[in-house]
């Protein structure tokens, strides 16, 4: 019989892409990961890996095996979660990752409500961008990912993900109330070519999207500050006269700031993503449902776009 732990390493490698990343997640050395995956090749009698320059990647047979074992490992995880629980008991640990504005406005309020209703349920919450939370979900580091995409976004339908759209919000241009454009009902990106911008730093999806809008309008944004928090960006607008672009969910009602819609609406679509193999785990289902219900009170419902098309990007 194939070694289950080695199969887990294979699944992790498919998602994370390097043995170094797998070693971090599994809390073992890189050499241990390499040895165990080599042993799996001997067990299966199949070439699972190949070299591409200095990198190692899965062969077609490796991808095929990973796809076949994924539901099996999911079922084993489900069995493990079910042990020691009475039928229908909402208990255990549920791990959630979400981007910052959804964390503050949707996830944390949902968790606060659930804490009083389910004393045997432990909820762990972590702030992550979609580029981090989806691999974490696929590699079983978390149970629920709340993600968002501006425009077409990415392909959510991978592996054994289950996807539910939470709703949408719009991108707004923030500027000081005394700004020449603050009184308009809408603004064009072209009107902002001479402005100094407050931008989000790091690997977040928003700055790349804003830069692409500016370049499409014929200019590169003049960056006056790079920030890790939306609150700091809004402070830069209020105190330093910069402008920035933020989705409505991320906007605080900060004094001295006007939030003007773009003439051509740019919508941010939000999704809650879980693993299909865990859909029968009552604790995960209950938490996901609570997040969905709270989101329905906070976000707009965009019924004009097919959910499958949005998720496929």
| Paired strand residues for 126 | 97
Encode pLDDT of 87-114 as tens digits: 667 888 999 999 999 999 999 999 999 9
Instruction: Tell me the domains of the chain and their CATH numbers.
Output: 4-82 (1.10.10.10), 92-167+268-312 (3.40.190.10), 169-267 (3.40.190.10)
CB 153 within 8 A of CB 124: no
Residue 307: pLDDT over 70: no
Give pTM, 2 decimals: 0.82
First to last CA, the chain: 39
Rounded distance between C-alpha atoms, residue 196 and residue 39, angstroms? 57
* Residue 184 CB neighbours (<10 A): 16
CB 158 within 8 A of CB 139: no
Encode pLDDT of 226-258 as tens digits: 998 899 999 999 999 999 999 999 998 777 899
pLDDT of residue 309: 44
Mean pLDDT, residues 15-19: 89
- Name which of 201, 184, 182, 185 is nearest 243 in CA terms: 182
* Residue 194 CB neighbours (<10 A): 7
């Amino acid at each position: 019989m194939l070694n289950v732990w080695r199969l887990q390493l294979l699944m992790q490698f498919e998602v994370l892409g390097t043995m170094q990343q797998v070693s971090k997640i599994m809390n073992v050395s890189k050499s241990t990961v390499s040895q165990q995956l080599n042993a799996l090749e001997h067990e299966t009698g199949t070439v699972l890996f190949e070299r591409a320059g200095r990198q190692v990647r899965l062969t077609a047979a490796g991808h095929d095996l990973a796809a076949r074992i994924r539901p099996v490992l999911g079922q084993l995880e489900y069995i493990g979660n079910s042990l020691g629980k009475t039928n229908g008991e909402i208990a255990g640990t549920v791990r959630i990752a979400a981007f910052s504005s959804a964390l503050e406005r949707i996830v944390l309020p949902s968790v606060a409500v659930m804490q009083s209703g389910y004393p045997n349920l432990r909820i762990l919450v972590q702030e992550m961008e979609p580029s981090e939370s989806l691999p974490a979900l696929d590699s079983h580091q978390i149970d629920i990912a709340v993600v968002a995409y501006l425009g077409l976004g990415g392909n959510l339908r991978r592996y054994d993900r289950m996807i539910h759209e939470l709703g949408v919000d719009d991108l707004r241009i923030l500027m000081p109330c005394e700004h020449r454009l603050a009184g308009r009902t809408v603004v064009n990106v072209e009107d902002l070519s001479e402005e100094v911008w407050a931008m989000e730093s790091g690997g977040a999806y928003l700055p790349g999207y804003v830069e692409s809008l500016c370049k499409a309008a014929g200019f590169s944004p003049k960056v006056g500050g790079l920030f890790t928090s939306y609150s700091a960006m809004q402070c830069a607008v209020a105190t330093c006269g910069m402008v920035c672009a933020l989705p409505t969910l991320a906007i605080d009602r900060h004094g001295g700031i006007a939030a003007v819609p773009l003439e051509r609406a740019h919508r941010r679509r939000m999704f809650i993503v879980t693993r299909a193999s865990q859909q029968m785990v009552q604790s995960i289902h209950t938490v996901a449902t609570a997040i969905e219900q709270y989101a329905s009170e906070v976000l707009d419902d965009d019924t004009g776009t097919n959910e499958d098309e949005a998720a496929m990007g």
